[in-house]
Structures are given as structure tokens and as C-alpha cells.
Amino acid sequence: MPTATHRAIDAVWRIESARLIAGLTRIVRDVAVAEDLAQDALVAALEQWPESGIPERPGAWLMATAKRRGIDALRRRVVLERKRELIGHELEILQQLDQPDLAARVNDVQDDVLGLIFMTCHPVLSREARVALTLRLLGGLSTPEIARAFLISEGTVAQRIVRAKRTLGEARVPFEVPGRDELDERLSAVLEVIYLVFNEGYAATAGEHWIRPALCSDALRLARILAALVPREPEVHGLLALMELQASRLRARVGPHGEPLLLADQDRARWDHLLVQRGLAALRRAEELSGALGPYALQAAIAACHAQARSVKETDWPRIVALYDGLAALTGSPVVELNRAVAVTMAFGPQAGLELVDSLAEDSALRAYHLLPSVRGDVLGRLGRLAEAREEFERAADLCDNQRERELLLSRAVACGV
């Protein structure tokens, strides 16, 4: 049972760790060393704060402690390796560590955090590595927390993080906010990582739980931070809008026994109206900042149609079809086409929808995708072709890895009644 002080230290760590690691990375130019120093400072806090109480400025305390550890480590190296002097860049780092914290000015700290985001989401890393490192260094999650979130072993997460830090070091990835010429590309890598985290919480790909709200919260927090740090980028607001709107439905998406509830069956009174308002506001910002909406903002605009509708029937389906047209043109994604087929079914009837679904049947990218037979089953059911619908739902269940979702698909198969 953690004491009150330990819980308070956890809270301070959650608030301060990203800024701390970011500030240290700027100075020591190595994210692995920076994280070690930050961890040393945390250990010192865990030792000292229960006695001394939490200092008035805990962030400054942690930074000062981490820097002192850094200086000690460098000096120790001089003593141990008497034969050699510290080389140029080590001396420079030592000097910087020894200086008063000039960078504590708000703007610099924010640039640091932004630099760290771009580093942990750097394209030189695999997607899995980016996700793990971002949650660890910016989300303040521990290795066991990340392991639990993604249903993988702690060892795997730890190894991923160690390798990722080594890769960043070996590739000499600079600690900086990318310039205009590569900003779009790098930013989209960041957005992808945030949305991956969110989606794993919103519709878990595996495991016994259908949603994991804590992961959605972590992703939302990262997106809110990013939107505040780069306020002029429309797609950042687009992604934030999309996630706020999707999260507004989170608690309505699960039934009393943990089973998933489809949009049509959700109690719309249980949607989170504060998040709906925040989502709509973020979408307006994205629209103000850009002439043509990007893929995230378009998806947010679709989510906004649902958020503003009182029921499935009263939803503006033709507008949703039009938005999907735009999205399909931008992404060329067969998954988007499949979603478009659903909207077409609702707007123009199941026959039109079925033609679209069938045109996707040969797409290799969708071959193992459980939602293709699931959508086909739904459309066939609407056409009264129940025996075929049942087969499709059963096929979808076979392809689905999430237990809760599989149960839903099987119950839909049974409901076909043939």
C-alpha cells in the first residue's frame, strides 16, 4: 500500500517527467542518459521526500538533482580514466549541467517537450518502438503499465525501449523541432503514434476487454499537449477533434456486461457532452486553419455528424457519404471505402451499399479484415437475405481476435435466425 507521499510523488512525476527528460536531453544530447538521470532524481525523491516533505518547486528540485547526478557521473569518469581527459563535447555538457537553469523559461521548456516528441516518434524507429518510447518518456508510463496496456510482457517492452534509445543514439537523431521542409512528414509520424495508442484503447485488437479507457486518456492528453505546442497545424487539431469526439462515446460503447454496443444501440444520453463540445471546437479550429481538410479532420467531421445527431435515423448520412468521398480520395484506403459503403447503405439503401462492399471483396488488404464480412452481413440482413448474412457474421467472428467483439458477431449471426 503506497503512502500518501508516494502517491503525491507519482503525481509530481506524471506532471514533471516529460519536461525533465526533455530538458536533460537538450543538455546531454542522449535520451538514454537523460532518462537515467531523471530516474536517478526520482529515486532520490522517493528516498528524501517522505522525510523532508515535497519541496515547494518539485520540478526544479528534480532537475537540479538530475543535473548534479550528471556532473558527478562525468567527474567520476575523469577520476576513473585518469589517462584521458574529458573530450570536448563532454566538457561542454559538464559546463551546461553546471550552469543555473537558464532554460527554465516557459517557451524553452515547451520547445524541449516538442523536441522530445519528435525524437520518440522519429521514423528511424519501428512503430512499436515509437509507441512504447512515447508512452514511457512523454506519457510518464512505467514499463509494467505499457506492458499491461498492450498485453505484452514487461521484458518485451523493456527491450523495445532499450533498443529504441540505442537506435536513436546510433542514428545520431538530433534533438530538435524539424524545420518547415520536413515538418509535415514528421508531424504525421507523431500523429500516427498518438492515434495508434488511442485506437488500442478505443477498440482493443486483442484480449478480453473491448475498450481500455486509460489508454484513450493517455493519447488524448498527448494530443491536447501537442495542439497547445503547435497551435497553427490544422491536422493536429483534426486528430484532437477526432479523438475528443470518439472518446465522448466511450462510456456508451460498452454494455453492462462489458459487451460492445454499436452506434445504433448506444444510449446517446451517456455520451460525454463536454468532450463533444471540445471536439467540435477543435474541428472548427482545424477548419479555420486550412482550406481543404486533411484525413484526420475529415474523419473528425464525420464523427461530428454522429455527435450532433439525435438518432441513427436523423443522422445526415448524405453528408457523411460526401465526407467519405473526400477521405477516400485522399487516402485511397480500402478500409475507408468499406466505411463509405456503410454510409451509402444508410443514405441510399442496402442495394447500393452491397454493390460497393462486393467491389471490395477482392481487395487483398481486406482479405483477413473481420469488418468486411461483418459489414456485408449487416447489408445482407437489411436486404432480408438472412442465411447469407448469418454466414458472413460467422466468418467475421472467425477472423476477429477480440473476444468481446467475437461474441457480438456470433450473437448477430444467431439473430439472423436461420
Partner 1 sequence: MRFMVLVPGSPESEAGEMPSTEVLGAMTKYNEELVKSGVMLAGEGLHPTARGAKVRFNGSERTVIDGPFTEAKELVAGYWVWECASREEAIEWLKRAPFGGGVEIELREIFDADDFGEQLTPELREANERLREQAAEN
Footprint of partner 1 (CB under 8 A): 4, 7-8, 10-12, 14-15, 58, 106, 110, 217, 220-225, 228-229, 251, 267-270, 273-274, 278, 308, 310
Q: Which of 239, 236, 253, 238 is nearest to 201 (CA)?
A: 253
H-assigned helices in 53-142: 58-80, 88-98, 106-120, 127-137
Q: Which is nearer to partner 1, 58 or 295 (CB)?
A: 58
> Nearest approach, Cβ of 11 to partner 1 (angstroms)?
4
Q: How far is the CB of 19 from partner 1 (least distance, A)?
A: 9
Q: Report the alpha-carbon distance of residue 142 to residue 228 in Å, rounded.
A: 25
Closest approach, Cβ 183 to partner 1, in A, equals 19
Q: Minimum distance from CB of 12 to partner 1 (Å)? A: 6
> Smallest distance from the beta carbon of 235 to partner 1, in angstroms?
18
Smallest distance from the beta carbon of 349 to partner 1, in angstroms? Answer: 27
Cβ atoms 345, 352 nearer than 8 A: yes
Q: Quick one: 22 or 321, whose CB is closer to partner 1?
A: 22
Q: Specify which residues 254 forms β-bridges with.
A: 260
The x, y and z cell numbers of residue 262, run together, are 454499436
- Our CB check for partner 1 shows the closer of 165 and 237 to be 237
Q: Alpha carbon of 191 to those of 33, 131, 165, 195, 343: distances in Å? A: 26, 11, 20, 6, 26
Considering beta carbons, is residue 270 or 406 the nearer one to partner 1? 270
Measured from the CB atom, the residue of 218 and 378 that comes closer to partner 1 is: 218
Please choose, from the candidates 398, 395, 393, the residue with its C-alpha nearest in 3D space to the C-alpha of residue 409: 393
292: left (phi over 0), alpha (psi -120 to 50) or beta: beta
By C-alpha distance, which of 238, 233, 137 is closest to 187?
Answer: 233
Tell me the three state secondary structure of residue 410.
helix
Distance CA 23, CA 137 (A): 12
Give whichever of 13 and 324 is closer to partner 1, judged by the CB atom. Answer: 13
Nearer to partner 1 among residue 131 and residue 225 (C-beta): 225
Beta strands of 220-290 (E only): which ranges?
A: none
Task: In angstroms, give the least distance from the CB of 145 to partner 1.
Answer: 11
